[in-house]
Structure 1
């Protein structure tokens, strides 16, 4: 039982639908362990400065956070940077599937559809995070406009009052709600 090591975050699934969050988690953990450079491949003019031990640690970490099927598919890979690049090539295109769905969710998001401010806030942040992982950032002003423009029709006056307050930070608006 001493050989069991828990995962810091969920493993990469075979379909790669969690690739964007998985890749972000990998980068953060490896940066914290000072071995993120092992993910960067060297070039003929600038060879990689990664020592073999760091490559092995990074490779082990990547494989430990992949589903069994993916481990078997990439079993022959002995370089962390090569594995990282191969996974990126395979799954990065999924952002083009995930991003339109997140954009559609953003369009359909309405403050009036939620029972509590907390539920709305959580959903808004989840959509914004997905968009950010896909390369689209959402400003505080966009979040404020989205929130105030989607109040229930019976609360239009409340929306106007909040607009007149001139909130510049989304968090301040949520606190006021």
Structure 2
């Protein structure tokens, strides 16, 4: 019974702080299960109802409970996928410029210890 609640990876947090990692994990898992067309906008590759339902169950299991409630009435997995992207996909615009700035201005000589430098590199 305990395996029923076991997740394949970390669920999407309610404020989307782990959205970028979550998107990559979902894409990889759906591609591995041949369910990726269920979330894509391709009319030339029809997807059956069973595949859509399986993809929707997978997405619902891997989002926060508050988000599950928000997308409770959705039956097509593409609808919450697009809605979550519209809501959280701006993180590249927010974090990427700051990370690039930090990376360009990172100097080894500014640190007293190698461990401090390594820690800062991992933070970026």
TM-score range, shorter chain: 0.7 to 0.9
Match status 1:62 vs 2:59: yes
Residue segments in structure 2 that go unaligned for 5+ positions in a row: none
Match status 1:14 vs 2:14: yes
The alpha-carbon distance between structure 1 residues 30 and 123, as it changes in their structure 2 partners (threshold 3 A), is farther
Structure label with greater radius of gyration: 1
What residue number does 1:115 align with? 114
TM-score (norm 2): 0.83
Residue segments in structure 1 that go unaligned for 5+ positions in a row: 128-177
What residue number does 2:27 align with? 27
1:114-168 deviation digits (Å, cap 9, x = unpaired): 5249x72x754664xxxxxxxxxxxxxxxxxxxxxxxxxxxxxxxxxxxxxxxxx
What residue number does 2:85 align with? 88
**What is the root-mean-square deviation of aligned Cα atoms in Å?**
2.4
- The DSSP-based 3-state class of the residue aligned with 1:4 is helix
Q: Which has the higher contact order (CA 8 A, sep 6+)?
A: 2
1:74 to 63, 71, 74: 71
Give the aligned length: 122
